[in-house]
Homo-oligomer: A and B are copies of this chain.
């Protein structure tokens, strides 16, 4: 009977791949997002909070993980009209829908920022959740490279404002058009013709599948290096596990051209731009890409953003298929220890680029757009690794209950403390066992406990216990310096607030 009852109980579990965030985790993320929002706001970006639910039709198929195009969304069908709805998987697809829907009421260009959870129906793994935060800023309706430069500059300022000092980050900028120019140059004759009618089916395949393959391959530059990419662009290579990975099938000359693009980064932006100019040869789209990068570099240099902060780097690819021009990536350059204790660079915390075709899906009219997305959890992890957040805030002052008939007295105390700006609470569990009250204060991270028993009440005094000092003394009872500071003091009831304040500031000092 008892067993039967137990089985009918629901399990108290978050669904697989989801998690809860408690106390300081929520506060710290909020603090960081508030700082980011303040920068975005100062730059003239307006907040937007679109609905978490979209029609599947309007979300489209732009999931970022090109290697796993089947990775999906959480979707369901409406009962009345069979419309498929889904949770948004990022903040860019909803922005395109919002702009298309409200374009007559919105200013053009429309600068907006958005922060909030997104959902991915993917296989969860360690540290990989199916709900996570994104934080985006985008400019819709401006074709000017000044919009891209502004996004990069704002990203640099944002990183510094949240606590990543100059020198610990670099924003790398590339242009998808330059890559397209390189691919045009190496494409078999005929596939480069602008006139659709002269293209053959085989040639089109080079345009779509081959280009996607090349994109995926050069995105592995960081992992497998120049030699690895060369093999993968050609016949293929044995990977670390011993499996043979098929190559893209370019000939040596073609692979050379791709690699000369990937490694075109020089000591200065000017050198890099010259190298890229050579690589794109006579491709007009390639030349346009180089010209766009030059404008971005010039605008940023004029505002004092040198290549120590924002740099042209052809090895930045960014997987997303929808980018059409400049792409950006913010990387943190300091080292942390990985799970095996080896030092490694922290890596990417934000990425973005220009996507001129997303709004066109809805309206048929091209609407240029560019933007950036910050990986909120990655950036929080970086700030924790640098000791910029976490570990400093105490819990509330806990007023203990010595006499349950005098709850009003204890509430009076926390009222006085709060009025003085001090976080405080009365113990609301069963007060019978005083040890439990102290355990509770410990679990709450309380810095101070207040005690007023019958004897104290009669004498008009309260006991104030320094729990931080108390635990230090408990750890090391011989230290001289702490002997002068008693861990518990008795003061008159009227001095309660002053004494607690004094104790708190001594703890912080």
Contact = CB atoms under 8 A, between A and B. Distances in A.
Interface in A127-154: 130-131, 139, 141-142, 144, 146-147, 149-150, 153
Contact of A150 (B5, B30, B426): B426
A239 interface: no
A15 interface: yes
Interface string A306-345: 0000000000000000000000000000000000000000
A483 interface: no
Interface stretch (A43-51, A190-198, A474-482): A43-51
A298 B408 contact: yes
B10 A428 contact: no
A423 B10 contact: no
A423 B41 contact: yes
Contact of A52 (B23, B52, B107, B361): B52
Contacts of A13: 55, 58, 97, 101
Nearest to A21: B49
Interface stretch (A211-219, A259-267, A410-418): A410-418
B108 A440 contact: yes
Nearest to A303: B411
A190 to B, nearest CB: 26
Interface string A280-301: 0000000000000000001100
A20 interface: yes
Contacts of A21: 47-50
Contacts of A150: 411, 426, 428
A100 B44 contact: no
Interface in A5-27: 5-6, 9-16, 18-23, 25-27
Contact of A10 (B41, B57, B74): B57
Contacts of A76: 74-76
A46 B23 CA distance: 5
A172 interface: no
B408 A15 contact: no
A425 interface: yes
A12 B440 contact: no
A15 B53 contact: yes
A98 interface: yes
A111 interface: yes
Nearest to A72: B79
A408 B297 CA distance: 11
Q: How large is the interface on A (under 10, 10 to 19, 20 to 34, 35 or more residues)?
A: 35 or more
B302 A408 contact: yes
Given A76-B74, A412-B303, A362 B11 contact: yes
A459 interface: no
A53 B74 contact: yes
Nearest to A445: B107
B411 A302 contact: yes
Contacts of A412: 302-303
Nearest to A100: B12
A147 to B, nearest CB: 5
Contacts of A426: 146, 150
Contacts of A42: 418, 423-424
A105 to B, nearest CB: 9
Nearest to A298: B408
A58 B10 contact: yes
Interface centre among A76, A83, A101 (most CB of B within 10 A): A76
A117 to B, nearest CB: 6
Contacts of A108: 429, 440
Contact of A142 (B23, B303, B428): B428
A400 to B, nearest CB: 13
Contact of A51 (B18, B25, B43, B60): B18
A486 to B, nearest CB: 26
Given A13-B58, A13-B101, A52-B117, 7 more contacts: A5-B364, A15-B51, A20-B102, A26-B49, A41-B423, A75-B76, A303-B415
- Closest 9 A-B residue pairs measured CB to CB? A44-B425, A302-B408, A12-B100, A18-B51, A26-B47, A142-B428, A44-B396, A12-B101, A23-B46
